[in-house]
Structure formats: C-alpha cells, structure tokens
C-alpha cells in the first residue's frame, strides 16, 4: 500500500474535481456552502438517508432534473427553478410539499460565487414553499462534461385522504382555468440565452404555487385535475388532458392571459406561446358549478392575480380527445403537442 498525500486545506474560488471526491474537500464544501443555507434538524444528522417522521397519510413522490441554460436568467436561476419545479409537481397531485432532496452535478471550474448564489436561491425558494431540504449529494465532473451545474430535486408531499386529481376525471362542460399569463419562463430564458434586446423586459414566472393550490382545494371540492404546464407548454398539458379523458377541449385564444412583451417576443422568434414552457402557473379543471368560486380564489392568491377561465371540456371524441383553439374571428384550429424541441434546455 502506498501512503497517500493529503491535499492542503486551501482556499479556492472555483469548484475543483476534489470537491466531488467524498473526502474532506467535499465535507468542507457541504459545511461551508450547503449546511449554512439549507441546514435543519433532519439534514444536519448527516446520515446516508434522512429520517422522516411517520405521517400516516398517503404520500406523493416526484423527481425532476434541471439543466437550464443559461444558469441565471431574469426572474430566477437554476436553483429556485429546481425547488419550485419539484414543489409544483407535488402540488399538481394535490399534495402538501414537505421534503426535498438535492443532487448536484457540478462542472469543474464553476465559480464558487455562482454556487453560493444558486444555493441562496434554493434556500429562499424552500422557505417560501415551506419545504425542508433534508438530504443531498454532490458530484463534480471534469471541465466540459456538464454545463456549469445540473440539479436534480426529488420531493415528498403529504396527500389528503381520498383526493384523486387525474385527467381521467375530466367531464364534458368542465371549465379550464389558468392561474397566470403563459410563456413567460421560456421566453425569459430564451431572450437571456440569445442576448436579445428585450431580455430585461421579460421575467421568468418561476414560483411555487402552494397558495393557489390550497385555495383551489378549499373552494372547489370537485377539482378534477391540476397540472403545471412546463415543457411542452399549455398545449402539451391540454393535449395530455384530452388524450387521457377522451373528451375534446376548446380554449379561446382571446381569453388566454399573456404579457404583451412575451407575445411580441414569440411572434418575433416564430414561436407559438402555447408551446412555450411555464414555471409559475397551473392549469386547473373544475366542474362548471365551482368555476366562479375557483377563479375568485385563484385571483386572491399569490401569483394568481391574472388567473382566467380560458375554455371548457366538450363532448367525448370517438377518435380520442383533442384540443381546439377558438380564434378571434370565430374559426378554430387543432392544437397538437410538439413532437420535438422548440426550445431545448429551458428547465
């Protein structure tokens, strides 16, 4: 056996491969950057797994990896995006988000200052969403083997008894509500990436939507389904709803909220805002009798001021449910999910 030569405890301002070694440099990274920001009684035990108290309820469990480029964009960065995205996936099934895990893959050379800023945003997003980061993992790959940082978050939430949000539940005449303007996230990232002139004017909508979801659950006991329309945009989510339920869905173009600057940017770039990713809105489907109360509850909630009723479920379609967009002149066009990638690396 050969004696090993320990690397001295030096100060560095960039991530090095040794920060992912599992040795003392990894420990220092955790102690100096992550624990001060994320620390809580569950994380601080530092075991291979976090120990969570029994809940006695059903749980929701989800995962998402974030590879957005660039890492920083107007309105957020990969850190708050990663926390909010997983929180919203838990909320989408009606769960109350509780615990988050974080898996970092960091590129050698990433400025420590960037990592601190990302971790700060994650901590703030976790506080805002009332979730705890309870377990984590850090890997470092050589320069050129990732794109700054990739972040996986998995999440656990607690699910109220007998709640069953599922696109299968959608029935004819159900009402489609959107909780805010569409396409802001995708266009914010796109404009930052391409250094377009309007970048300062468009901000990502990244946000956790616990307030809206809890409001909806309290006023709309018949709530059919919720979904945050991220990759694939509003069109992708509605097409999934139609396909799963077998009923057609019709939405009205003029009723869909969109920031005029976002709309102009989409037009300029030849993008359909219905296909552009969102990170801070929900699509909710409710029975007609609960629609007005649901909309009012959304509009009273954080991030819900621009909520709107945008359409409704129609008759079942023997060929499978489809999505139609009613245009201002009264005609309509078929909306289809994108096959490929309109905007890669958006989340």
Q: Which of residues 176-195 bind a second copy (CB under 8 A)?
A: none
Q: For residues 231 and 312, which CB has a smaller minimum distance to a second copy in the complex? A: 231
User: Scanning residues 231 to 250, which ones bind a second copy (CB under 8 A)?
Assistant: 231-232, 236
Shortest Cβ distance from residue 283 to a second copy (Å)?
12
- What tokens appear for 311 in the block? 């359409």
Query: Do 52 and 42 meet the contact criterion of CB atoms below 8 Å apart?
Result: yes
328 binds a second copy (CB under 8 A): no
Q: Which phi-psi region, left, alpha or beta, contains residue 320 (left: φ > 0; alpha: ψ -120 to 50)?
A: left
Among 144, 318, 328, 330, binds a second copy (CB under 8 A): 144
Max distance between CA atoms of the chain, in angstroms, equals 81
From 73-81, 97-105, 196-204, 307-315, span contacting a second copy (CB under 8 A):
97-105
CA distance 117 to 39: 16
User: Quick check: bond before 28 cis, omega within 30?
Assistant: no
* One character per residue 14-53, x = contact with a second copy (rule: CB under 8 A): --xxx-xxxxxxxx-----------------x-xxxxxxx
Q: For residues 127 and 143, which CB has a smaller minimum distance to a second copy in the complex? A: 143
Q: For residues 139 and 171, which CB has a smaller minimum distance to a second copy in the complex? A: 139
Among 75, 79, 136, 210, binds a second copy (CB under 8 A): 136
339 binds a second copy (CB under 8 A): yes
Shortest Cβ distance from residue 10 to a second copy (Å)?
9
- What tokens appear for 264 in the block? 């102009």
Among 39, 70, 257, 337, binds a second copy (CB under 8 A): 337
From 33-41, 119-127, 132-140, 201-209, span contacting a second copy (CB under 8 A):
132-140
User: Scanning residues 291 to 320, which ones bind a second copy (CB under 8 A)?
Assistant: none
Question: What are the residues facing 138 on neighbouring strands?
Answer: 104
Among 95, 178, 286, 295, binds a second copy (CB under 8 A): 95
Provide DSSP, 270-339. Answer: T--GGGS--SS--EEEE-GGGHHHHHHHHHHSTT-TT-EEEEEEEEE-TT---EEEE-TTS-EEEE---S
230 binds a second copy (CB under 8 A): yes
82 binds a second copy (CB under 8 A): no
Among 32, 36, 61, 198, binds a second copy (CB under 8 A): 61
Provide DSSP, 67-91. Answer: --SSSEETTEEHHHHHHHHHHHHHH
Shortest Cβ distance from residue 141 to a second copy (Å)?
5
Cα 114 to Cα 13, 119, 121, 149, 231, distances in angstroms = 10, 9, 11, 10, 25
Half-sphere exposure of 46 (CA within 13 A, CB side): 7
271 binds a second copy (CB under 8 A): yes
- What tokens appear for 261 in the block? 């600057």
Q: For residues 69 and 299, which CB has a smaller minimum distance to a second copy in the complex? A: 69
Question: What are the residues facing 175 on neighbouring strands?
Answer: 286, 312
Output phi, psi for 184, to 5 deg: -70, -45
Q: How many chain residues touch a second copy (CB under 8 A)?
A: 100
């Amino acid at each position: 056996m050969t004696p090993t030569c320990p690397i001295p405890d030096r100060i560095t301002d960039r991530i090095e491969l040794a920060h992912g070694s599992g040795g003392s440099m990894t420990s220092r990274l955790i102690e100096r950057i992550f624990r001060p920001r994320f620390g809580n009684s569950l994380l601080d035990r530092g075991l291979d797994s976090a120990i969570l108290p029994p809940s006695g309820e059903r749980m929701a469990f989800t995962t998402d990896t974030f590879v957005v480029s660039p890492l920083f964009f107007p309105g957020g960065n990969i850190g708050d995006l990663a926390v909010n995205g997983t929180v919203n996936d838990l909320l989408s099934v009606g769960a109350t988000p509780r615990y988050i895990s974080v898996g970092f893959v960091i590129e050698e050379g990433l400025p420590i200052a960037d990592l601190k800023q990302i971790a700060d945003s994650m901590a703030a997003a976790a506080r805002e969403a009332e979730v705890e980061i309870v377990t984590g993992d850090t890997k470092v790959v050589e320069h050129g083997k990732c794109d700054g940082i990739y972040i996986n978050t998995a999440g656990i939430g607690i699910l109220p008894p007998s709640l069953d949000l599922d696109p299968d539940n959608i029935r004819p005449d159900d009402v489609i509500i959107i909780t805010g303007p569409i396409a802001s996230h995708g266009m914010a990232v796109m404009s930052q990436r391409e250094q377009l002139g309007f970048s300062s004017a468009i901000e990502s909508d990244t946000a956790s939507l616990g307030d809206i979801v809890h409001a909806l659950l309290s006023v709309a006991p018949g709530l059919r389904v919720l979904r945050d329309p991220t990759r694939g945009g509003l069109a992708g989510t509605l097409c999934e709803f139609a396909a799963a339920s077998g009923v057609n869905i019709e939405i009205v173009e003029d009723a869909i909220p969109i920031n005029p600057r976002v709309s102009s940017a989409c037009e300029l770039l030849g993008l359909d805002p219905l296909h552009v990713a969102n990170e801070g809105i929900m699509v909710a489907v409710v029975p007609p009798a609960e629609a007005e109360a649901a909309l009012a509850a959304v509009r009273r909630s954080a991030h819900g001021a621009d909520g709107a009723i945008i359409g409704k479920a129609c008759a079942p379609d023997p060929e499978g449910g489809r999505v139609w967009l009613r245009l201002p002149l009264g005609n309509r066009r078929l909306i289809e999910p994108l096959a490929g990638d309109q905007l890669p690396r958006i989340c």
